[in-house]
Chain A
Amino acid sequence: MASEAAIKKAKQEHSAALLQTPGVCGVGVEQDKRGQFVLAVHLSKDTDAVRQAVMARVGSVPLKLIASGPFRAF
């Protein structure tokens, strides 16, 4: 189980590179259904290739992939 501080550190470490990954539109700190902190990665394209690229970058960091679709100014 990762602490909030650990997930924040992981976000700081991986966010810039992940946001440059095609198909990724967000990287944040969230909690899963059990209340445990996870690195939440929002996908503008939910494909196996994108998921694998994300998982390859973050390694063993607790991860939640969210198919949000692309973000745009409202």
Chain B
Amino acid sequence: MTNDKLTETDASALADLYKAKQTWSERLLKAEGPTSFTARGAASASAPAQNVVGVGVGEKISGGQLTGVMAVKFFVRVKYPASQVTKAEALPATIDGLPVDVEEAGTFRAFLPNPKAKWRPAQPGSSVGYREPHDAYRMAGTFGAVVKKLGVLYVLSNNHVLADENRLPIGAPIFQPGLLDGGSPSTDGIATLAAFVPLKPSGNEVDAAIAKANSAALVKKDVLYIGPPNGTATASIGMIVHKFGRTTSYTVGRVSSVATDVTVGYETGNKIFDNQIIIVSLTATPFSRPGDSGSMILQRGTRKAVGLLFAGSTTHTIANHFRVVLRKLGVTLP
């Protein structure tokens, strides 16, 4: 078998590919193994036994382009950079001379929740937002986490998602889904604005606010698709993280900095934040986009909350340190 481009079906070559696929499928895909854990817990390791979710035969992709070369395909949850995979964990580059392709597929699941839908109880990862007092526009951001203070439950998100950049009065209603996603002011209120950390021109550490849940039964702490947070941790460079947000749903990224000062554009003007977390996507798609603001960012594997997403560009995401958010608001994870 050579690597020459196959311009028509080559029965012998395909038979070799399917034979190799069968061998590796039996070797790596075991229903009773770690991959049978709930995907949220098992999704972080680079070892093939945890990371490979499918083995097949298909066209090799290079630089985002189909090559016309048929190969044994390994579908992985996360395509880690070569520098993060040990020799023992690395998938083969070829199998008995047959081409191999590794493609990131995420976790195959029968159900991917719709963050813009109405959720009852409302859950982190779903769309939330306020009502502009003059109905000049409709907006939506992301429900970050359920937090508590003195036994009372609150919705945690950004100041600019719940308090309109310091401008909303305490007691203003918060809706799930946000009005931009079809939420109704008359029926979809789930909380009322309770507190926010004021945004100022410089020296900001967080963009955060909380809204008191109208009743404890209206909210549930489990993040859509990911599950309940397992406490908090401090982000570190190189940490693999994930989030579920209103716009880009489930994404995985890597922390590239935990101490970056940034200038961020807001409706009310630019604001400088100190020592923020910077995250880059592990795939070709962005880790976040507008509307993902407020998403809780968790360490993959441990599900410990490390950040609160609030800003970004087309290539980079910025988050507050989650422990700083909790401290500034005087709340804890339930």
Interchain CB contact under 8 A, A72 and B265: yes
Chain B residues with CB under 8 Å of A72's CB are: 264-266, 290, 311-313
B271 to chain A: closest residue by CB = A73
Interchain CB contact under 8 A, A73 and B207: yes
Interchain CB contact under 8 A, B278 and A28: yes
User: Given A27-B261, A74-B289, A74-B291, A69–B207 Cβ distance below 8 Å?
Assistant: no
Chain A residues with CB under 8 Å of B256's CB are: 30, 40
Question: How far is it, in angstroms, between the C-alpha of A73 and the C-alpha of B327 when the chains are bound?
Answer: 22
Partner of A31 from the list B237, B289, B290, B311 (CB cut-off 8 Å) is: B237
Question: How far is it, in angstroms, between the C-alpha of A25 and the C-alpha of B315 when the chains are bound?
Answer: 13
Could you give, for residues 38-57 of chain A, a 1 whenever the CB lies within 8 Å of some chain B CB and a 0 otherwise?
Answer: 00101010000000000000
Q: Is B75 an interface residue when CB atoms closer than 8 A count as contact?
A: no
Q: Is A62 an interface residue when CB atoms closer than 8 A count as contact?
A: no
A41 to chain B: closest residue by CB = B260
User: Given A71-B318, A74-B289, A74-B291, A29–B260 Cβ distance below 8 Å?
Assistant: yes
Interchain CB contact under 8 A, B262 and A73: no
- Shortest distance between the CB of A39 and any CB in chain B (Å): 10
Chain B residues with CB under 8 Å of A19's CB are: 261, 263, 272
Q: Is B114 an interface residue when CB atoms closer than 8 A count as contact?
A: no
Chain A residues with CB under 8 Å of B293's CB are: 73-74
Q: Is B192 an interface residue when CB atoms closer than 8 A count as contact?
A: no
Interchain CB contact under 8 A, B261 and A15: yes
Residue among B141, B256, B258, B310 with max Cβ neighbours from chain A (10 Å): B256
Could you give, for residues 5-37 of chain A, a 1 whenever the CB lies within 8 Å of some chain B CB and a 0 otherwise?
Answer: 000100100010001000011111111010000
Interface residues of B in 254-289 (CB under 8 A from A): 256-267, 272, 276, 278, 288-289
User: Given A71-B311, A73-B160, A74-B311, A26–B263 Cβ distance below 8 Å?
Assistant: yes
Interchain CB contact under 8 A, B313 and A69: yes
Which interface class (under 10, 10 to 19, 20 to 34, 35 or more) fits B? 35 or more
Question: How far is it, in angstroms, between the C-alpha of A24 and the C-alpha of B262 when the chains are bound?
Answer: 9
Question: How far is it, in angstroms, between the C-alpha of A70 and the C-alpha of B314 when the chains are bound?
Answer: 9
Chain A residues with CB under 8 Å of B207's CB are: 73
Q: Is B156 an interface residue when CB atoms closer than 8 A count as contact?
A: no
Q: Is B292 an interface residue when CB atoms closer than 8 A count as contact?
A: yes
Interchain CB contact under 8 A, B309 and A30: no
User: Given A29-B259, A40-B260, A69-B315, A74–B309 Cβ distance below 8 Å?
Assistant: yes
Partner of B257 from the list A24, A30, A70 (CB cut-off 8 Å) is: A30
Interchain CB contact under 8 A, A71 and B265: yes
Question: How far is it, in angstroms, between the C-alpha of A68 and the C-alpha of B312 when the chains are bound?
Answer: 9
Question: How far is it, in angstroms, between the C-alpha of A72 and the C-alpha of B288 when the chains are bound?
Answer: 12
Interchain CB contact under 8 A, A27 and B310: no
Question: How far is it, in angstroms, between the C-alpha of A19 and the C-alpha of B316 when the chains are bound?
Answer: 17
User: Given A19-B272, A29-B257, A71–B262 Cβ distance below 8 Å?
Assistant: yes
The 22 sampled A-B contact pairs (Cβ below 8 Å) are: A11-B259, A11-B261, A19-B263, A26-B261, A28-B257, A28-B262, A40-B256, A42-B260, A42-B262, A42-B316, A44-B263, A68-B315, A70-B265, A70-B313, A71-B263, A71-B265, A71-B313, A71-B318, A72-B265, A72-B312, A73-B264, A73-B293
What 8 new A-B contacts, CB under 8 Å, besides A26-B260, A66-B316?
A27-B260, A28-B260, A28-B276, A31-B237, A68-B316, A72-B264, A73-B267, A74-B288
- The list of the 8 closest CB pairs from A to B, nearest first, reads A28-B260, A72-B265, A74-B293, A69-B313, A28-B257, A26-B262, A29-B259, A15-B261
